[in-house]
């Protein structure tokens, strides 16, 4: 069975100032998602599932999903603030989405095979999709044994400001031993650095492995997520900015020895539009890739 690609496209794009998932960056108005789907098709994925907010469903179906439906089966699911387990009521102060692992939970009724997760607004590189698809094809029938595409931190920073990354520690067999979501990473005097819990700057290296939210799971992860979300809500329901994130849950489960996650190194260089100022550089990078023959002038 071919793996599914699950695309997280419900983010609010707050730092960028708009629905960046729908921003045309390629020579014919292609979005970053278009390149992701193109690469996924080449790598052998068999279905695409998008999670979006219902408020932009019409625009999304017209501008995005319609392009792919003749090429590959497409499903759309919705992440809404009030999509909570029985017994929980939405805090009226909550405005922010519940986070990436809540978005992932929205796919539980439409995904029954090994699946990859990506962010809609990240350009991951063709090799990453090939590596992920290859691993997912081996994962059918297994449980609690997942994977993650690992990038070099130096290949993922923005010139325009700080970024959030899952900073990874691995054992000698490349299995995750720890992943911590660092929400403010930037270069300070040329050195990648982050603010710790005490607001102090700590340095990292360009070769530190990080997560860019490109994961491989089997469907049993939905059940783990479901029970963990209940625990999360019990602790955080009165914290309107708390988020149920994939790296945080993975780290908890890894530390409890409940799951194993293999870090798969990729030679790909990530890029994306975190800030509006990043846009011209991304447009140029895509133009260069097209010029070099990596992608056709018109994708779909």
Distances (CA, A) of 46 to 39, 179, 193: 12, 29, 39
Query: Among 77-81, 263-267, 273-277, which is the least confidently predicted range?
Result: 273-277
Q: What whole-number distance in Å separates Cα of residue 270 and Cα of residue 124?
A: 5
In a domain, 86, yes or no: yes
Strands 115-119 and 4-8: parallel
163 within 8 A of 156, measured Cβ to Cβ: yes
Strands 122-123 and 271-272: antiparallel
Q: What is the pLDDT of residues 50-92, one digit of tens each?
A: 999 888 888 888 878 899 999 999 999 999 888 888 888 888 8
The boundaries of the domain holding residue 78 are 4-291
In a domain, 197, yes or no: yes
In a domain, 298, yes or no: no
In a domain, 170, yes or no: yes
In a domain, 296, yes or no: no
Confidence of residue 230 (pLDDT cuts 50, 70, 90): very high
Q: How many domains does the chain have?
A: 1
Task: Count CB neighbours of 213 within 10 A.
Answer: 19
Partner residues linked to 169 by β-bridges? 178
- CATH of residue 169: 3.90.550.10
100, pLDDT greater than 60: yes
In a domain, 297, yes or no: no
In a domain, 299, yes or no: no
Task: Count CB neighbours of 143 within 10 A.
Answer: 13
In a domain, 105, yes or no: yes
């Amino acid at each position: 069975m071919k793996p599914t690609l699950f695309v997280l496209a419900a983010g609010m794009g707050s730092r960028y100032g708009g629905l960046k998932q729908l921003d045309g960056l390629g020579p014919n108005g292609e979005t970053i998602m278009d390149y992701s789907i193109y690469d996924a098709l080449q790598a052998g994925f068999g279905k695409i599932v998008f999670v979006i907010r219902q408020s932009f469903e019409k625009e999304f179906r017209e501008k995005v999903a319609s392009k792919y439906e003749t090429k590959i089966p497409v499903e759309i699911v919705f992440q809404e603030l009030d999509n909570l387990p029985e017994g929980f009521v939405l805090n009226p102060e909550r405005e922010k989405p519940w986070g990436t692992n809540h978005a992932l939970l929205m796919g539980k009724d439409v995904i029954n095979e090994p699946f990859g997760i990506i962010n809609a607004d990240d350009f991951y590189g063709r090799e990453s999709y090939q590596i992920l698809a290859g691993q997912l094809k081996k994962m059918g029938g297994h449980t609690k044994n997942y994977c993650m595409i690992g990038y070099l931190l130096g290949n993922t920073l923005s010139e325009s400001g700080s970024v959030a990354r899952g900073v990874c520690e691995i054992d000698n067999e490349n299995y995750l031993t720890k992943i911590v979501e660092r929400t403010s990473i930037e270069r300070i005097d040329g050195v990648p650095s982050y603010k710790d819990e005490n607001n102090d700057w700590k340095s990292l290296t360009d070769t530190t492995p990080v997560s860019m939210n490109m994961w491989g799971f089997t469907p049993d992860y939905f059940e783990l997520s479901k029970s963990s979300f209940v625990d999360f809500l019990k602790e955080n329901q009165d914290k309107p900015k708390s988020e149920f994130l994939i790296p945080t849950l993975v780290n908890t489960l890894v530390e409890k020895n409940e799951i194993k996650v293999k870090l798969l190194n990729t030679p790909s260089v990530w890029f994306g539009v975190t800030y509006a100022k990043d846009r011209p550089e991304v447009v140029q990078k895509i133009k260069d890739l097209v010029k070099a023959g990596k992608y056709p002038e018109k994708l779909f």
